[in-house]
Amino acid sequence: MWERCLVIAIAFGGVLLFDGFALRGKLTARDKLVYGSIVLITLYGAIDFAMNQDWPDYLDLANIPFGKAAKTMEQLLQTDWER
């Protein structure tokens, strides 16, 4: 777990340090909101990965609107290979 946390800290630190210098004074308030939202979503995924928990994932969120359609398509495409 500590190795995962170290890699995540180095990766996030590098990205935020680079973006801090590269984007300083170039972002509007809306850009900062979008950037912060993306960082928070990514940080949530990184913490979920590091702690190896079974928290709700991005796929779980996509399963809400698309789950029934995906299950139907899966059933339509199933074949019987044992014939």
Instruction: List, for residues 8-40, the tens digit of each pLDDT value.
Output: 899 999 998 998 888 888 988 999 899 999 999
Torsion of CA 48, 18, 37, 27, to 10 degrees: 180
Does some domain include residue 83?
A: no
Tell me the pLDDT tens digit for each residue of 47-60: 888 888 888 888 88
How much is the CA Rg of the chain, to the nearest whole Å? 20
Q: Model confidence at 83, in pLDDT bands (50, 70, 90)?
A: low
Q: How far does CA 11 lie from the centroid of its chain?
A: 15
Does some domain include residue 46?
A: yes
Domain span holding position 30 = 2-77
3-state helix, strand, coil in the chain (%, to 5): 75, 0, 25
Domain count, the chain: 1
